[in-house]
Structure 1
Amino acid sequence: MINFVNPKYESLSDKEWIVTNGIGGYASCSLSGANTRRYHGLLVASLNPPTQRVLLVSKVEEKVVVNDQTFELSANQFQHAINPNGYQYLTNFERFPFPKTVYKNTNFSLSKTVFMVYEQNTTVVEYKNTGKKPIAIKVDIFLIHRDHHGNMRENQHTNFYTESQEGFLKTYAYFDANPLFTKHEGTFIGHPNWYKNFVYEKEQSRGLDPVEDTFKIGYVEIPLEAGQQTHLIFSTEESAMQTDGFNLKKTESDRYESLRQTDDCFLNDLLVSGDQFIVERKSTESHSIIAGYHWFTDWGRDSMIAMRGLCIDTGKQEVCKSILKTFLNYLDAGMLPNRFPDSPGDEIEYNTIDATLWLFVVLYEYHQTFKDDEFIKNAFDRLSEIIHFHKTQTRYDIHETPEGFIFGGQGIAQLTWMDARIGDFVVTPRHGCPVEIQALWYNALKTYQYFQQHLNLDNAEIDSVNNSLQRFETNFVPFFFNEKGYLNDVVLPTTSADDTLRCNQIYAVSLPFSVLNHGQQKQVLDVITEKLLTPFGLRTLETLHPDFKPTYGGDVWSRDMAYHQGTVWPFLISEYTEAYCKVYGLNPQSKAHIESLVGLLKNHFYNADCIGGVSEIFDGLAPQQGKGTIQQAWSVSALIRIMYMLQKS
């Protein structure tokens, strides 16, 4: 719980919360009650799960009436003012199991809790009179109807025609639109009007259009005796109007409680947080993983990396199989999809060199955890197909070199995770043989060899794989281990080597199979510890490099120029801890070191930025405030992996 004394708008508006519904939809807002992002809203529905997300309910604004006095609890930012100033009544906020805000003064005490119904585009807002006097609340309802990436301004096309029926409202944003349903337990008074020029501070800081208009359809007035509760239910489904807020909350509370698997409160809260990313994908009728909220959908690379902590370590075998089967079914020319389309008519994208290789790491860890020989047997032919295409050639000139390395790159395509590109300008060009791709390729070959031997499978590729392993093990250190004591970032065999000091080399130590000996692993780890390690993750570039960007922010150009040029990524902290334990063992000293690394991220999780979430990135020089997405799948996954590692020790 976060307690507030003399709360300030600036501090509260920097903190956010998000709840999700398991199909890509969400509700999110700042703690101040003001929407500070275009993505903030009480109901962002996913109409083609987990994509096609549409913002339908912008917000509700509460007024408490006691003894003919009215207290406004909401807040909004306009160009020259904050109005109202309801945040002054905020006394505490707690995130688990649901976001709950308490407003209080000498006249009243009111709690507001928000949650979503699992696998429905339905948001429930619960109010409880926690004071000793009877009160009345007036709840203004502000609607919107747009893609969640956009902004809306007053227009003649959308008039939010509302029909008031027994206990609920039916609102059409425009003629022939699908209706929004609102269940209430009070009296609705229609007062349709546009409210203009809300300013979204976070969008302004990102160099995007920060101004929006929303439509107030009216307000609901509800009397509340001391201790009494009431619910507002917003939904795209009329059947939700027949449900009860108390029962919906009980169902969701029970579901969340079932996610809490351990005696460690922090790990339990991470498990609840991590569940937000696991979604149903309608087009494939399977599970998938949202890369990050608010703006990412599901990506191949992110899914492979994140599912290690979100699904394998948590024992969700059926979810793992569902995700893996989907990606294997869409294997094409030996490559997994990088991104499934947002719209039904769009093509699947295969522009990644690493997502496919991550599949082998995931399958190895899946098998180590679940001992599922049958699943591996059924997938083995697809693994052979991947090996074949990577050894010969597939998209983007991806192929094996005579040295046993994997080469990739063509035109302006960005194939590794360092994929920032602004128009035709490539920020981090890495055509050739990137170091983490070689680490992943080595693990793919070793995993393939392990499966073949463990399952005693006859396969024509195994002699070729053994030959590749021999060449790789002979050539990797001479080509990649430089005289400065760390690994080159990208090599063009017989041509050049880029010795830029980046975090990517951590994978040559952290992954299940390492080609480096113990001494070489220690050298690499020690350089990373000295030059790249921060309390929030690893820097993407050393601070002394001329291209290093100390801060991440500003417009699209400024942000993308800094994205992988020093910016700290917390998801890499689990790779660092894996490497650290390989080199030093998991003894009391190393355990204390790892726990100290987790400490600031734990504080970030509970008290900063997205409460109950982990940000995508942090500034490179002096990381403090979270940047990028407020809740990133592989960031949460990394902490789950570390906490399970510590627990097992």
Structure 2
Amino acid sequence: MSYLKFDRRLMINLEYSLYRSVLRTNRKGAYQNTSISGCNTSKYQGLLVMPVPYLDDENHVILSAVDETIIQHGAEFNLGIHKYSGDIYYPRGHQYIHEFNCDSVPQTIYRVGGVLLSKETMFSSRENRLMIRYKLIDAHSPTIIRFKPFLAFRKASQLTRENDQVDRSYRQVENGISTCMYFGYPELFLQFNKKPEFIYHSDWYRGIEYIQDQQNGDSYQEDLYVPGYFEMSIEKDEEIILSASDIVVDTSILFDEFEYELRKRTPRSNFYNCLRNSSHQFFYIPKNEETYLLAGYPWFKVRARDLFISLPGSTLAVDRVDDFEKIMDSSIPHLMDFMEEKPLKNIIKQIEDPDVLLWVVWALQQYRKENNETSNEKYTPFLFFIMKYILTNKHPNLKVNNETGLVYTDGHDVAVSWMNATLNGKPVVPRSGYLVEFNALWYNALCFAEEIAEITKDKELTTLFREKIEIVRRTFVTTFMNEAGYLYDYVENDYRDVNVRPNMIFAVSLDYSPLERSQQKSVIDYVTKELLSNCGIRSLSPKSGNFKPHYEGSPEEKTFAYFNGMAFPWLFGSYIEAYLRVFHKSGLSLADRIMVAMEDEMQNNCIGTISEMYDSTPPFLGRGGFSFAMSVSELLRALKLMKSYESEPQKGSTI
């Protein structure tokens, strides 16, 4: 039985099926995403959405949808579905859906009278190419199938209207056509594994609406261009494959290509496999010799902080050490360019953020724990370069106070931490000075560097790091620990931010903590009581006057809510790590309950993956990016960590 299966009762209920989507990607930044009913509900959705590098740095919706029509004895049954104004859905093809499952690939089974048709959707891992395989499982009379493509050729963040600039021409190619709506775009090749009849009948379908954009207060209505339609007969047990790509393909090998891709897929047979499969979807290989991680879908690119936080979970936690090395090796030249003040290649965005290098060191630390024998030699020089770079205050916005040993940053006018929402060009949460997670990461980095320096018998660096460690251990506690028993979120001059936020969890979760165990337990207790939510750790305590539990309202209200109450799943990784450090094996029951709650999300929002954030009170709706690398990766890392504690003898916290 499929782990992700939706029966007819759920599929014909648009209140349910419209709010669940499916995502398929390649490793070039392209993707396919639509609701499980087949109706696009957002401008970011489509069957072929891809970067067009020579136009800009954004994704572009090329092929929005394909409507299939079953024809028997002259009677037409259109399987497509679009929303139009007045809450009208037409055609209502969802009523023919018998079931939908998403084991290896998304599969929809349609039943139209005596016709039973299977539709499987595959996205090539090597090219910007969508393949759809249709199989006529049963039919009692001659059957014709029609394919009508809906084209957009626009930025994913924008919408299009009927216009006279569109190029209505097309040309015949092997078993299909190619067309291009606007100059500067790549051609779209629509081809089949057998020869179709193409009927040219260009027209605009006007007033198509996207319900989720409409509900979010965003622009939501557009016109889509249809150049015509394809028709062909289909026999019982026959398979027809449609290929939509920016390159012409050899149609004689479409069946073999589909089977090749199918064999590579990880079955979504359980919670872990869904997360593992989802983690693969963030891999981005713009060139054969370079590999990175996208921050998420649908609009994120490669972001430095996200990359290094996600790196251990997306690679080491799924036993892919070689992938860690590929991504780290691809990233190091960019980091060196930044530290040596050379021109940046702009593949990794926001590389100048002040905590990025601290997360790089953390990622290297995770690598060493996983791959102890070879890690010292491979990345030790780079590790020491980073530490010297920070210690000599060469970073433009991360400085070491020689008296306290702590690091500080200026966050008044720019968002410097992961809480990076801005309004009118200013940070919504203007964290500045000594930030608690920056300094927890800094203390951990010093301790890790001292560990490696001692192993490599570098006495000078060992002495330097030890001196800094002793200073930071003392000043961290006196700077951040308050009488209530939790940590200030940031401290600047005489100001101490008393808001209870999740950033203090890193002072407990990291391998090296400047806190005593009683202090660690106190921090854990605060996070558990005030910030723990069903689908993430809240970004602000409900006791705060600024607390906003739901991502709703005007764009300004939603931006304010982003880091003033929304719950973030990625923080579960560090929370579970901290909880197990304090309570050991006895903490597994809470960790298990967290994972059970997150497993329920496998069938919500974008199925089989985890959203960027969630409302922190019921009904805990997924918000932001519908598939987010940090969320998926940190859950994978937590699962592996939990497994390591399962074999540990039962013991108390020793507090």
Query: Which band: TM-score by shorter chain?
Result: over 0.9
- 1:287 deviation in Å? 0.5
Query: 1:202 and 2:212 equivalent?
Result: yes
My pick for the range that moved more, 154-163 or 414-423, is 154-163
- 1:243 deviation in Å? 5.0
- 1:71 deviation in Å? 1.5
Query: 1:596 and 2:598 equivalent?
Result: no
Counterpart mapping for 1:281-430 below 5 A: 281-282=286-287, 285-331=289-335, 332=337, 334=339, 341=346, 349-373=350-374, 376-401=376-401, 402-409=403-410, 411-430=412-431
Residue of structure 2 equivalent to 1:124? 131
Query: 1:112 and 2:112 equivalent?
Result: no
- Give ranges in structure 2 of 5+ residues lacking alignment: 647-655
Separation (CA, whole Å) in 2 of partners of 1:242 and 1:4: 34
Separation (CA, whole Å) in 1 of partners of 2:485 and 2:618: 26
Counterpart mapping for 1:433-582 below 5 A: 433-457=434-458, 460-492=460-492, 495-582=494-581
Letter in 1 for 2:427: V
Q: For residues 174 and 480 of structure 1, do their structure 2 counterparts lie closer, same or farther at Cα, with a shift above 3 Å needed?
A: closer
Classify the secondary structure of the residue corresponding to 1:120. Answer: coil
Residue of structure 2 equivalent to 1:638? 634
- 1:634 deviation in Å? 1.1
Separation (CA, whole Å) in 2 of partners of 1:355 and 1:116: 33
Separation (CA, whole Å) in 1 of partners of 2:322 and 2:213: 39
Residue of structure 1 equivalent to 2:651? none
Residue of structure 2 equivalent to 1:613? 609
Query: 1:151 and 2:159 equivalent?
Result: yes
Separation (CA, whole Å) in 1 of partners of 2:538 and 2:24: 29
My pick for the range that moved more, 540-549 or 161-170, is 161-170
Q: Share of identical aligned residues, percent? A: 27
Separation (CA, whole Å) in 2 of partners of 1:177 and 1:626: 33
Separation (CA, whole Å) in 2 of partners of 1:176 and 1:481: 58
Residue of structure 2 equivalent to 1:66? 72
- 1:395 deviation in Å? 4.4
My pick for the range that moved more, 116-125 or 81-90, is 81-90
Correspondence for 2:622 among 623, 626, 647: 626
Partners of 2:412 and 2:427 within 8 A in 1? no
Separation (CA, whole Å) in 2 of partners of 1:405 and 1:611: 43
Letter in 2 for 1:232: L
- TM-score relative to the length of structure 1: 0.92
Partners of 1:292 and 1:629 within 8 A in 2? yes
Separation (CA, whole Å) in 1 of partners of 2:121 and 2:497: 50
Partners of 1:170 and 1:182 within 8 A in 2? yes
Q: For residues 77 and 591 of structure 1, do their structure 2 counterparts lie closer, same or farther at Cα, with a shift above 3 Å needed?
A: same
1:503-553 deviation digits (Å, cap 9, x = unpaired): 111111111111112211111111111111012110000011011112113
Separation (CA, whole Å) in 1 of partners of 2:341 and 2:466: 23
1:602-634 deviation digits (Å, cap 9, x = unpaired): 1111x1110111111101232522111111111
Residue of structure 1 equivalent to 2:101? 94
Partners of 1:435 and 1:490 within 8 A in 2? yes
Correspondence for 1:162 among 147, 159, 170: 170
Residue of structure 2 equivalent to 1:255? 264
Separation (CA, whole Å) in 2 of partners of 1:379 and 1:421: 35
- 1:289 deviation in Å? 0.3
1:403-449 deviation digits (Å, cap 9, x = unpaired): 11110015511110001112233200101111111111111111111
Separation (CA, whole Å) in 1 of partners of 2:340 and 2:605: 36
Q: For residues 228 and 630 of structure 1, do their structure 2 counterparts lie closer, same or farther at Cα, with a shift above 3 Å needed?
A: same
- Give ranges in structure 1 of 5+ residues lacking alignment: none
Separation (CA, whole Å) in 2 of partners of 1:129 and 1:34: 22
Partners of 1:63 and 1:73 within 8 A in 2? yes
- 1:204 deviation in Å? 2.0
My pick for the range that moved more, 105-114 or 593-602, is 105-114
Separation (CA, whole Å) in 1 of partners of 2:340 and 2:18: 43
Separation (CA, whole Å) in 2 of partners of 1:129 and 1:520: 65
Separation (CA, whole Å) in 1 of partners of 2:169 and 2:47: 19
Separation (CA, whole Å) in 2 of partners of 1:281 and 1:292: 16
Separation (CA, whole Å) in 1 of partners of 2:265 and 2:592: 26
Classify the secondary structure of the residue corresponding to 1:313. Answer: helix
Query: 1:221 and 2:231 equivalent?
Result: yes
Q: For residues 585 and 349 of structure 1, do their structure 2 counterparts lie closer, same or farther at Cα, with a shift above 3 Å needed?
A: closer
Partners of 2:303 and 2:351 within 8 A in 1? no
Query: 1:56 and 2:62 equivalent?
Result: yes
Partners of 2:339 and 2:395 within 8 A in 1? no
- 1:487 deviation in Å? 0.8
Partners of 1:160 and 1:174 within 8 A in 2? no
Classify the secondary structure of the residue corresponding to 2:630. Answer: helix
Residue of structure 1 equivalent to 2:649? none
Q: For residues 592 and 397 of structure 1, do their structure 2 counterparts lie closer, same or farther at Cα, with a shift above 3 Å needed?
A: closer
Q: For residues 546 and 175 of structure 1, do their structure 2 counterparts lie closer, same or farther at Cα, with a shift above 3 Å needed?
A: closer
- 1:32 deviation in Å? 2.1
- 1:237 deviation in Å? 1.2
Separation (CA, whole Å) in 2 of partners of 1:417 and 1:147: 27
Query: 1:13 and 2:18 equivalent?
Result: yes
Separation (CA, whole Å) in 2 of partners of 1:306 and 1:514: 21
- 1:640 deviation in Å? 1.4
- 1:88 deviation in Å? 1.5
1:305-364 deviation digits (Å, cap 9, x = unpaired): 111111112222222122212322122564999x9737xxxx964341222101111101
Separation (CA, whole Å) in 1 of partners of 2:503 and 2:340: 21
State the number of aligned residues.
Answer: 632
Letter in 1 for 2:639: M
Partners of 1:335 and 1:350 within 8 A in 2? no
Counterpart mapping for 1:224-243 below 5 A: 224-238=234-248, 240-242=249-251
- TM-score relative to the length of structure 2: 0.92
- 1:200 deviation in Å? 1.3
Classify the secondary structure of the residue corresponding to 2:547. Answer: coil
Separation (CA, whole Å) in 2 of partners of 1:90 and 1:625: 26
Query: 1:76 and 2:77 equivalent?
Result: no
My pick for the range that moved more, 387-396 or 415-424, is 387-396
1:113-150 deviation digits (Å, cap 9, x = unpaired): 11111120110011112234343221111112122222
Q: For residues 370 and 319 of structure 1, do their structure 2 counterparts lie closer, same or farther at Cα, with a shift above 3 Å needed?
A: same
Partners of 2:421 and 2:429 within 8 A in 1? yes
Coordinate RMSD, CA, aligned: 2.3
Partners of 1:489 and 1:505 within 8 A in 2? yes
Separation (CA, whole Å) in 2 of partners of 1:602 and 1:221: 42
Classify the secondary structure of the residue corresponding to 1:419. Answer: coil
Correspondence for 1:133 among 128, 140, 143: 140
Q: For residues 151 and 376 of structure 1, do their structure 2 counterparts lie closer, same or farther at Cα, with a shift above 3 Å needed?
A: farther
Q: For residues 467 and 542 of structure 1, do their structure 2 counterparts lie closer, same or farther at Cα, with a shift above 3 Å needed?
A: same
Q: For residues 119 and 434 of structure 1, do their structure 2 counterparts lie closer, same or farther at Cα, with a shift above 3 Å needed?
A: same
Letter in 2 for 1:32: S
Separation (CA, whole Å) in 1 of partners of 2:643 and 2:72: 51
